[in-house]
Amino acid sequence: MSKSLPTMRVICRNSGTSIDVEMGQTLASILDSFTFDKPHTILGALVNNQYKELTYRVYKPVTVEFFDIRHYEGYRIYQRTISFVMQMAATELFPESKLRIRHSLGDGFYCEFESRKLTHDELDSLKARMHEIVKADIPISRTKLLSEELCDEYKRFGYFDRIELLETAPRLYSSVNYMGGMPGYFYGALAPSSSYVDRFDLALYDDGFYVALPNRKEPERVVAEVKLDKVFDIFHEYQQWIDIMGVSTVGDLNRRVLEGDASELIKLAESFHELKIASIARSITEANRERGVRMALISGPSSSGKTTFSKRLGVQLRIRGYDPVLIALDDYFVDRDKTPLDENGKPDFEALEAIDLATLNDHLKRLAAGESVEIPRYDFITGKRQWHDKPLQLTERSILIMEGIHALNPNLTPGLDDRLKFKIYISCFTSVAMDNFSRIPTTDNRLLRRTIRDKATRGHSAMRTFGMWSSVRRGEERHIFPYQENADVMFNSSLFYEISVLRALAEPTLKEIPDTVPEYAEARRILKCLEKFVPIPPDEIPPTSLLREFIGGSSFKY
């Protein structure tokens, strides 16, 4: 008579129930034991506040929360898994060509083959093969190999970008995923098999193609039409530039740092920023002469570097004989106790109504009329508005620079003539990728910046910053991204070396988040990402660098 295995208690947050299961059962095998609404395919789970694949086996008592594509990590699982499917299809069909996932774009991502531009027929073949792989329901597994053995495995497929990362961030054993006989690794959880990612589309775009995925909020919707040409152009320009610099992947960057080139990389990245800011200042002066522009409106998501960009833009405008006057929309926040609430009853700091619109528009009209105006200053620690002693006043040579997440929203300044506005969109479009198939989410880069800054200047713990982040992102999707293509110009605030600098500053505060809270899952995911970067000390970063806004040591006053 066979001896039964010990049982373990599994508590399911989705259903509010618990069951006892035999030790070693996978999450996928026990999923149907819990009754709760499952409108979309379950892709992963939060297990004791850690993200886990459905192939995870239960060997101790656990609390589980299953999620689908509507969850941020569920969406990332879908992205990673479809990338694996595409890797297999591309390797089979075009073995002589190297495919690269360049960057995210809307509800999908943009890809290119380095040595070929696909025809319509070739793209149709790639799409058909991907559908065949999905239909075949090929299991996806994870194992560990000696890193030396894994390098040999990657060599067989020509994945030298992954070898570079293994060699510059060495460890004895490394994880690897397999789908059939195809090795790959995507720095996070994957679906149990290829069949979980059956909704996607491909469309030719620029020199490559666009992979459209389901919309996270409306998973039944897949739209292959791209309407983000300006975002694409700024992403693509920076991507091409870092290719020329030879730092397209983390392995490339690590190699240069280990060879002693960190100082040179910092100088190159900072000089590129200065060149772009000077170009934008020139465009503003031209617009001032051509259509009487008096105001530069700067918008972008949280931690894009809007404040430092505004100050550096002001310096460039002074060089051209103008008198820039800076206003931050954040200074027009209502007092914290008057902040509107979101649908969950929490303060919605990203809502347009979090701004004192009446006072702001009154001040703008008075400034435009040549009046002297005393503007507010918001104290983020007390959550109260204070007032400057020295009022502002515009002259004939003045350009008003106003920055904030709502700056491009026409409902912010409805009474101002659009011809007077020069609209700028800024974001941290992270272009350095882990490898050719694994990009680093732009939102992760911004979250690192915000975590470090919030602790230093606003007295917030990492747990508090992480806890607010989903609300921040909802606000961006509602109030910022819909207006980004209205910008006259865009600026990429990313510095390709910056995560190597942020690592040492972020790790201690991220490790303070305890495993008893849901925020631990995101902290742990980002910590694992940071491990791949060879650290760069911040000593040679200039005091005017945009990065100084987040790490301290800036020569600008905030």
Domain ends where: 20, 50, 68? 68
Domain ends where: 45, 68, 91? 68
Query: Measured in whole angstroms, how far is the alpha carbon of residue 95 from the centre of its chain?
Result: 31
Residue 190 tokens read as 């994957």
Note whether 526 and 453 are same-domain residues.
yes
* Whole-number Cα distances in Å, 324 to 26, 305, 399, 409, 495: 61, 18, 5, 22, 25
Note whether 32 and 100 are same-domain residues.
no
321 Cβ partners below 8 Å, 6+ apart? 397
Domain ends where: 203, 227, 251? 227
Domain residues for 199? 73-227
Domain count, the chain: 3
Could you write out the DSSP letters of every residue in 302-327?
TTS-HHHHHHHHHHHHHHTT-EEEEE
- Collapsing DSSP to helix, strand or coil, 184 comes out as strand
Nearest Cα neighbor of 72 from 510, 466, 511 is 466
- The C-alpha atoms of residue 291 and residue 447 are separated, in whole angstroms, by 38
pTM of the model: 0.91
Residue 558 lies in a domain: no
Note whether 141 and 251 are same-domain residues.
no
Note whether 210 and 143 are same-domain residues.
yes
Note whether 404 and 334 are same-domain residues.
yes
Buried/exposed code over 104-117 (b: 16+ C-beta within 10 A; e: otherwise):
bbbbbbbbbbeeee
Residue 347 lies in a domain: yes
- The C-alpha atoms of residue 181 and residue 127 are separated, in whole angstroms, by 20
CATH of the domain at 25: 3.10.20.30
Contact 357, 340 (CB under 8 A): no
Residue 383 lies in a domain: yes
Note whether 109 and 29 are same-domain residues.
no
Residue 274 lies in a domain: yes
For residue 325, give the amino acid letter.
Answer: V
First to last CA, the chain: 74
pLDDT tens over the chain, length 558 residues: 456 779 999 999 999 999 999 999 999 999 999 999 999 999 999 999 999 999 999 999 999 999 999 999 999 999 999 999 999 999 999 999 999 999 888 899 999 998 899 999 999 999 999 999 999 999 999 999 999 999 999 999 999 999 999 999 999 999 999 999 999 999 999 999 999 999 999 999 999 999 999 999 999 999 988 888 999 999 889 988 999 999 999 999 999 999 999 999 999 999 999 999 999 999 999 999 999 898 999 999 999 999 999 999 999 999 999 999 988 898 999 999 999 988 888 888 888 899 999 999 899 888 888 899 998 999 888 898 888 778 888 888 999 999 988 999 989 988 788 888 999 999 999 889 999 999 999 999 999 999 999 998 888 999 999 998 988 888 888 889 999 999 999 999 999 999 999 999 999 999 999 999 999 999 999 999 999 999 999 999 999 999 999 999 999 988
Residue 267 lies in a domain: yes
Residue 386 main-chain phi, psi, to 5 deg: -120, 180
- The C-alpha atoms of residue 457 and residue 550 are separated, in whole angstroms, by 9
Residue 237 lies in a domain: no
- The C-alpha atoms of residue 107 and residue 214 are separated, in whole angstroms, by 7
- What proportions of the chain, in percent to the nearest 5, are helix, strand and coil? 40, 20, 35
